[in-house]
Structure 1
Amino acid sequence: METIKKNKGFGNWIRTSITARMLMVGFLILVLLIPLIYIKELINERSQRQEEVVSEVGNLWGTEVLLMGPILKIPYKTYTESTTYDTETKKGITKRKTHINYAYFLPDNLNIDAHVDAIKKERGIYETSVFSSEMAIEGTFGIPDFKQKDVLPEDVVWEKATILIRSSNLKGIKNQIEMQLGDETTSFLPRYKDQQNQSYLTGFVPMHELESPFLADGALPKTKAVTFNTAITMNGSSKIRFVPVGKQTKLHMTSNWKDPSFTGNFLPEEDEEKSVTSEGFVANWNILQINRQFEQSFFGSLPDLKEFSFGTELFVPVDEYQKSERSAKYGYLVIALTFLVFFLIQTISKINIHAFQYLMIGIALLMFYTLLISISEHQNFLKAYLVASAAVIGLITLYSKSILKHRKFILLIFGSLAALYSFIFVIIQLESYALLVGSIGLFIILAIVMFASRKIDWSSGA
């Protein structure tokens, strides 16, 4: 009998003590954080799946386009001498050894006219941007300066000079590349280039080489500058960029894509010719040698210059998973504030709310995020958010009707949830002012809670 009385006393303390209810609510919040973590992992998993699909489509259609060239490659001779001594005659024998090195000369002028015809490709519920680009490239090679390395004219191997073009996307090239160089026409073939030692780098974009056959005498800038022009048609995805190898590089780009993101080391010129409209964009770049951090010629080896690239990303502006992830970050706040409202109502009105009922309300709040993710994969984020929030608010309001009984409390629950989800939606849409608006909102919520709880006798039933 004594044990039964103790159990009844403990049960009565759980039902009537404010401290006990606070501990119970706090414990349930901690328990509900576990499935919230799994929801975040679900969002990351779906986001990674989207990236895999985007990469798969890009590999089939053509990866991002990064173009560097054309570059004039000329071999030259250097010599080393070594002396050996005959042990019998004690005389020194001098041997001269010839080495072949390479010099790389960048064009004086490089003009690129690129038209990018972009479309959206869908794979299941995912979409990405792909494009077909037509590039007209022209410019001038000046007379190579070998004097800076003290290379004699007779040591320059003009007959084995070639032209190089580097590209990240050989698979996407759709025409046989031919270049008019001076009085001659030359074509290009791929050359193997080992890049395994760099493939581990984050964001590494492999560059492949195209090289011409040995140039005819009429194509060489021996005594005067030589002009060149070529055309390249290339499929790609996501980005199109160029390395400004010209002493003066000009790029004129047009596209039907309405959401460009200009990336790289250089932005387009702000002039009357640059425009972004609902039908596409027009942009112009004019880059001088003094704007970059590399010279016009290299001896020995040609460095990787893609860090100086510039161009355009065909940005897909709607990232539903990113917005869903930002929504889930406020899941702790939503659960805690909703439980706080029910706790205050329970404390003020003396209505008994069971732990199981708190748990059902918490699970309903978690269902918002699964609904949001699944619906946003088929509709835009606004529709998904409205449907998910309306469903959860309606479910909890109807459920609270059987718990709270009084109409004013039911309306309070409805109004609190509607205001809370509206507040979260506003924060998600903001970028620059998200912290400011969030801080002000939380301050207002704190003020309301302090005002509502000012008359509660916290010492009773403790």
Structure 2
Amino acid sequence: MNSTENQKPQPQKPTNQPNKFSQWLKTSITARMMMVGALILVLLIPLSYVNILISERSYRQKDVVNEINQKWGNEVLIYGPIIKLPYKSYSETSTFNEKTKTYLKETKTLINYAYIFPEKLHVDAAVKSKTMYLGNFESAVFTSDMALTGRYHPINLEGKGIKNEDIIWEKSSILFKTSNLKGIKNEMAIVINDKSYAFETSYNENSSLNNLDELETAFLNEDLLKGDFNFNMNVTYDGSKQIQVIPVGKTTTMEMTSNWADPGFIGNYSPDDETRSITKDGFKVDWKVLAINRAFSQQYLNQVPSLSQFAFGTKFVVLVDEYQKSERSAKYGFLVIGLTFLIFFLIQTMSKIHIHAFQYLMIGLALIMFYTLLVSISEHSNFLKAYLIAGVSVILLITLYSKSMLKNFKFSALIGLSLTALYAFIYVIIQLENYALLVGSVGLFLILAIVMFVSRKIDWNNG
């Protein structure tokens, strides 16, 4: 038998058939939509890491700002001056004597203190602010020259049930409570009727009230408190963040001037609108607080009350720093990725140009790189310059990549213009405060209208 006749037929190699899944992705609109949606969800993972990075750098900035402030001086809160006046009180006890079958009465004399606030208090604060840097981070610090003047009326505690003969006039003193004790740059003294009384640090169980340190003078002249008297004192602070005053005067006024262009007025009372002046070179404002405006009295027994909730003043901080802007920008990352992918999806659907999943992924990663560039560059420059550099870099990269991918200058130019408009729109929203929601809502409505108009002729039933 012929050997050729005994040979079995060899199986033929299959010809290359198109992959069904790949073909489905190319031809089915539903499949492409599912692929784009899945890629957007995947890209949320690196986008979340970008938000973590921004938060970490923001916390690092806060640590550095606190370090700067600790070295220069912390926030300033002044509480005083306050007269500290000792007086006698009496405690009577009865003891039963078994032998005489009578009660023996014993009277003990106790020393307590009354604290009296002034009738008038005026604070004149001249604040020179500047920005201090440590590495790439900055903090607003200031030097404040504060002059306190005021007046006391004769002291009378009979309304508190204390007789004049029980008051120990010769051991009265002046208290002054303040935060940022180490920021004081001058020897402190209060001048009363042309006589100066120096302050010294003092401590008792109440001296840490609201983290305030206590200063106290030596004993005052015995006859001083029995008549009207004026006082004045000066204190110079190196501080940061804010200056606040507790309105201890029955009538308290404060005038503050500074070269800081963006003040924030804080606390329980607002400055006078008629005299308020804020320009790019600084501000000048006045406050006036009457006794009827606050819920505390002028005299207290036994201890000085906590009154920090009634403080008012000015905040010296950068209102919106670079990390806050970067964080707000990153919140729109999902919108940027989604709209960019939507543009490519519409181009792919309308022009029948195939775009691979890997190409979508590269475009998405380029969009995420915008935020890392923004954060890193803004640490060495201002936010606008960083935003421009990062935006132009990413737009050029994606435009050139789409030119090589789509083989069409018209489509790549459309993508470049769309990204430019989108980044410009987000920058405007970031800069706005009161109208951010309104502008954002109107902008998204217009984007939705454009997408609906462009996609109206697409046959969505095909796949």
In structure 2, the residue matched to 1:221 is 225
| SS of 1:238 mapped into structure 2 | strand
Match of 1:129 among 134, 140, 143: 140
Calculate the TM-score normalised by the size of structure 2: 0.92
Tell me the amino acid that sits aligned with residue 138 of structure 1. Answer: T
Match of 2:158 among 147, 152, 162: 147
Alpha-carbon spacing, 1:196–1:34, altered in 2? closer, same or farther (3 Å): farther
Alpha-carbon spacing, 1:430–1:459, altered in 2? closer, same or farther (3 Å): same
Match of 2:395 among 379, 393, 396: 393
Shift of 1:193: 5.2
Shift of 1:453: 1.6
Distance 1:64 1:155 in 2: 40
Tell me the amino acid that sits aligned with residue 185 of structure 2. Answer: K
Distance 2:156 2:206 in 1: 30
Equivalent residues of 1:83, 1:93 under 8 A apart: yes
Calculate the TM-score normalised by the size of structure 1: 0.93
Q: Does 1:91 align with 2:107?
A: no
Equivalent residues of 1:184, 1:216 under 8 A apart: no
Counterparts of residues 425-436 of structure 1 (less than 5 Å):
425-436=427-438
The higher radius of gyration belongs to: 2
| SS of 1:454 mapped into structure 2 | helix
Shift of 1:194: 5.6
Instruction: Give unmatched runs, 5+ long, in structure 1.
Output: 199-204
Match of 1:339 among 338, 341, 345: 341
Match of 1:33 among 35, 39, 44: 44
Tell me the amino acid that sits aligned with residue 241 of structure 1. Answer: Q
Tell me the amino acid that sits aligned with residue 121 of structure 2. Answer: L
Equivalent residues of 2:156, 2:164 under 8 A apart: no
In structure 2, the residue matched to 1:54 is 65
Alpha-carbon spacing, 1:313–1:398, altered in 2? closer, same or farther (3 Å): same
Distance 1:140 1:445 in 2: 65
Tell me the amino acid that sits aligned with residue 226 of structure 1. Answer: F
Count matched residues: 451
Shift of 1:123: 1.0
Shift of 1:269: 1.9
Match of 1:244 among 232, 244, 247: 247
| SS of 1:217 mapped into structure 2 | coil
Equivalent residues of 1:106, 1:296 under 8 A apart: yes
Alpha-carbon spacing, 1:284–1:196, altered in 2? closer, same or farther (3 Å): closer
In structure 2, the residue matched to 1:9 is 20
In structure 1, the residue matched to 2:191 is 180
Kindly report the root-mean-square deviation, in angstroms, between the aligned alpha carbons of the 2 structures: 2.2
Counterparts of residues 281-430 of structure 1 (less than 5 Å):
281-317=283-319, 319-430=321-432
Tell me the amino acid that sits aligned with residue 281 of structure 1. Answer: F
In structure 1, the residue matched to 2:7 is none
Q: Return 11-20 or 287-296, whichever deviates more.
A: 11-20
Equivalent residues of 1:169, 1:236 under 8 A apart: yes
Distance 1:4 1:426 in 2: 57
Instruction: Give unmatched runs, 5+ long, in structure 2.
Output: 1-11
Counterparts of residues 450-461 of structure 1 (less than 5 Å):
450-461=452-463
In structure 1, the residue matched to 2:256 is 253
CA deviations over 1:194-233 (Å, ceiling 9, x no partner): 68998xxxxxx62111011222224x312x1121111112
CA deviations over 1:7-30 (Å, ceiling 9, x no partner): 932332233222221111111111
Q: Does 1:18 align with 2:20?
A: no
Residue identity over aligned pairs, in percent, reads: 55
Match of 2:112 among 92, 101, 107: 101
Distance 2:241 2:359 in 1: 49
Distance 2:208 2:231 in 1: 34
Moved over 6 A (4+): 3-7, 195-198
Tell me the amino acid that sits aligned with residue 213 of structure 2. Answer: H
Equivalent residues of 1:14, 1:20 under 8 A apart: yes
Distance 1:212 1:294 in 2: 25
Distance 1:5 1:17 in 2: 22
In structure 2, the residue matched to 1:201 is none
Distance 1:279 1:419 in 2: 34
Equivalent residues of 1:58, 1:130 under 8 A apart: yes
Distance 1:436 1:116 in 2: 37
| SS of 2:439 mapped into structure 1 | helix
